[in-house]
Amino acid sequence: MLGPSGCAGLDLPINPGGMKLTESDPQKTALFTPLRLRDATFKNRVVISPMCTYSAQDGIANDWHQAHLGQFALGGAAAVFTEAAAVEPRGRITHGDLGIWSADHAAALKPVTSFISRHGALPAIQIAHAGRKASMQRPWDGNGPMDDGDAARGELPWDVVAPSAEPVREGWLMPSELSVAEIHDIQDRFATAAGHAVDAGFEVLEIHSAHGYLAHSFLSPTSNQRNDAYGGDRAGRMRFSLETAEKVRAVWPADKPLFVRISSVDSDGVTEGWQLDDSVALAGELKARGVDVVDCSSSGISGTATAAQGKQPLGFRTAYSSRIGTEADITTMVVGLVLHAAQAEQIVSDGLADLVAIGREALFDPYWARHAAYALGADPDFSDWPQQYGWWLTRREPLVREYRDA
């Protein structure tokens, strides 16, 4: 971590600009200070979070993914994550999910990684297995178990798996309880997916262990009712995630950073289930197995973790990332309601997290990182913009500044 821990309730300005520029000299900022992890250099601390777009066909990326992800590289982020890429077909959340379970999937992603790399960002991928939350509708089709309407579109459900035969909630598919041999097979699929990610040209990899998907459902005592080596006490419930990290790290090149996204707590504001103390312990064990960054999200064990679920303060998960980073002595990334440049700058400068993941705010503004650099004075003359844009913006700026200051 970069500094002391702090509180989650940040009193921050609504204005994303945060300041008026009066000079052209770049200002030193924490948010636009590079970070080196293994042999990868993050040119700043802004990362585009994995965000499902449900637009693949049989897991294969297409021109949508290149345009969608490429815009964020043009937009100035240090790293751009794909959405969750399933390690096997039944690990998809929906029929539209991205996949990385074959060489064909890797080949389809090569144009994406090439474009991102050429434009100054690190191409990153999140590998995942949805577990008992697989075989769902796309959000705009209902965001629940598939029904007759989905079947009419030719999208049929498939069998789902979990640590225990416990559905997400009433009315959802009943998962089959995984045998130990099946657990090992899925772990091997994560490792195989990591190999395909190397072939596709990715420089950063993240294992998805959050939001109620398979790995998180092993961690949580509310969803894991096993009494064998993969259940019971916290050590048993962590075994799936830790072994998976070991297998992935053995395949993922030693010079490339490995992230793990976790739900820091099962449910925000609820004192049952997986708790922050558990996440601190997990983070320490992940670090011992070669994980470089813990990506601190939360919630989702029995519902959505990403759609609005009531009002939360800005940067509310910094309470998780700061404690995990400090107590486990590991680099952290925080995600969730980071909206403004001044807010992100405060998070990094105060040591609440080392990296800031921008998600849906980047859908609203794909150039969030560049606008933040301008607002904070880190790039007042557009020198870091693509030449095709910066050349014009520099010449336009004096006139625009006159109108701003009028």
Q: Supply φ then ψ for residue 292, to 5 degrees.
A: -95, -30
Q: How far apart are the first and last CA of the chain?
A: 42
- Over the range 370-395, which residues count as b (16 or more CB within 10 Å of their CB) and which as e? bbbbbbbbbbbebebbeeeebeeeee
CA distance 141 to 150: 8
Cα separations in angstroms, 41 against 2, 211, 277, 344: 16, 28, 31, 19
Is there a catalytic annotation at residue 213? yes
AA letter at 26: P
Asked if residues 125 and 197 have their Cβ atoms less than 8 Å apart, the reply is yes
Task: Provide the sign of the torsion angle of the four alpha carbons 245, 246, 252, 255, taken in this order.
Answer: positive
Burial category of 352 from C-beta neighbours within 10 Å (exposed 0-12, middle 13-18, buried 19 and up): buried
Q: For residue 126, which phi and psi values (nearest 5 degrees)?
A: -105, 125
Q: To 5 degrees, how large is the angle CA 87–CA 42–CA 196?
A: 20
Catalytic residue among 54, 213, 367, 374: 213
Q: Which two tokens stand for residue 279?
A: 């996440």
What single-letter amino acid sits at 223? S
Which residues are CB-neighbours of 177 under 8 A, at least 6 positions away? 161, 162, 163, 164, 165, 226
**Helix (H/G/I), strand (E/B), else coil: 178:** coil
- The set of long-range contacts for 20-26, using a CB threshold of 8 Å and a minimum separation of 24, is 20/404, 20/405, 21/374, 21/377, 21/380, 23/380, 24/380, 24/381, 25/377, 25/380, 26/377, 26/378, 26/379, 26/380
Task: Say which residues have a Cβ less than 8 Å from residue 375's Cβ, sequence separation at least 6.
Answer: 16, 17, 18, 19, 341, 342
Q: Which residues does the annotation mark as catalytic?
A: 213
